[in-house]
Structure 1
Amino acid sequence: MQTQVVPSLSRWGVSAGADLVFRTLAAFGPWSVDQTGASLGWKNQRVRGALDELLAIGAVAALPLGTGDGRQWTARSATEVVAGLRRRSQVEAAARHRLRERLTHLINPEFVPDPHRMAARDVRPLFTVAGVRDRLAQLINGARREHLAMNPEPAFSAETVKAAAPLNRALHARGMQVRTLGVPPTAEDESGWHTDELNAYGLAFRQLPSLPSKIMLIDRRCAILPIDPDRLAAGAWEITAPTVVEQLVAFFHEHWDRARDPIRDWKPPMDLTPREQAVLALLAKGFTDAAVAAKLEISLRTVAYTISGLMERYHVINRFQLGLVLGAGDDPGSDRVADPGEPEEE
């Protein structure tokens, strides 16, 4: 029987590891992660990473049976995969041309190299929203010094905020310097509560009437820029060319210096812990204990303990009095303080 010749996907920008997994599945699949890893002598985590890359370009599909690492994967037709990669290459080439035009409007043109001639490691595309989120998570988990973000969107969906919140909390936990530039929100914006949480943690936020581009800068080593600023679902560029990143950092700080901290309804006293500030800031905005717990990803009992602890510290007997003492308006939440003996609700 004649063996099918499987073309290399590496020439289309697919990593060597993902190409090898594709070839393995094309020759022997459908196989599970365990089977593929055993055949290649790889750990399952490495196989899953390669499958994620192949799934993003439509090169593999999961069979309906099985779950977790027991689920089986199959390679799609090599002809169809190569055709799709060829189309993607054409789209990427056009996007690279537009990238140079965009960069010349953001930074000094003399520092803008030809994206077609830049090494693949200096500028690479991240297709799909999921691909951008996954890469951002990797970069933020590896960040050590600084995270700068310029967000021109006047409204963020609840889904977007939910995805970003754990990453921002991780930055705070590591003591990173975090600066975020935004614009005045519209009524549809769902990020107000998270902005209050970040302010409670001491992460700086400023606003301008408008911003020219969405940019994320990690450790002054990497910049994330949308491929199409009018269609964020198209993905983003990951840029690591040092001169370009340096210029984009300067571009960010130029706008940061002109921006102002927006006036908020209430700023928690600075002698409170970050958690106490975050809880009170959300309660002062009218969120229930359950909503605060859900948004901050803490237990309902933790919210109750936080409030009862503050009441004891400031020698008051109810939330109304606590609100007056802390300057949080008439009432930072409802009058009810959960009994510490009640069952914990997660």
Structure 2
Amino acid sequence: MLEALGLDAASETVYRSMLAHPGLGVAALAERLNLSEQQVRAGLDRLAELALLRPSRERPGQVQAVHPELGLAALVRRQQSDLLRRQQEVLASQDALTELIAAHRAATRTHPDTAMRQLIGLDAVQSRLEALAQQATTECLSIMPGGAQSAETLDGCRELDRHALQRGVAIKTLYQDSVRNDTATRAYARWLTACGGQVRTQPLLPVRMVLVDRQTALIPLCPDDSSLGALNVTVPSIVAALVALFRHIWDTATPLDGPQPTGDPLTGQERRLLLLLADGLTDEAAANRLAVSLRTVRRMTAHLMATLDAQSRFEAGSKATKRGWI
């Protein structure tokens, strides 16, 4: 009960017993409290440290408990003083943090091209993503091509996403259809949806991007290697164009945990594959664009040719076009 004042349970028990039964020695206290003499002596040492004991005038060489109205009141005042000091330290830290943030922002504003700023390396990108997630007020839109995300990446997103959703930020994420067979991504999608976010998929996606509050966009410096860093863009016309692109893709995408669209003999992924092959892409290039394995592309191609009763890829594309499938 008095731990906040620095008394552990044993010390408090010894103190209460000494108040109720003045004059008891170590052995008597130990017997009454069912404690060892070592525990009683440790309790007495602690009480002495807290100035809750004083020498007895009636019994030379012995001590007695200080009245709680005096002793404990002094401890409360000491705690209040410590609390005030800690509060002052926190306020000083907050002032230092405010000054540091202001200095950082001033340094950023002096960058020769703040409207399009390069972030070199994954650490710089991660720091910027964390800052944007904390600053977001309305929406965060993401396009994540390249197939299934690692469990570590998804777990790293959860805390940022949770705080943003609690502030009322709308979170919408686009993945490729190939993630539908990935357990970690589907688990993340279910969690995000349960928290109020949304996840959809498309067979084919453009470059990776994150769009925050229709004011800031992060896109890779190199579309084929996001580990090199990103470009932080705040040019209104560019951000607006990227948001429009996202919404166009989103409107035709399918909820990850929802049913696939019906009424068409081709899946969205198969339709995209036909278009890629019609553009002359090799199986390897098509697999890379769809974020699936080469084996999957070849299996899908064989299925398409059988469905269309075609002897060649050219004939398959021609028949699919005539039927209005692509």
- TM score, norm. by length of structure 2: 0.45
**Looking at CA atoms only, which structure, 1 or 2, has the larger radius of gyration?**
2
- TM score, norm. by length of structure 1: 0.42
1 or 2, which has the higher helix percentage? 2
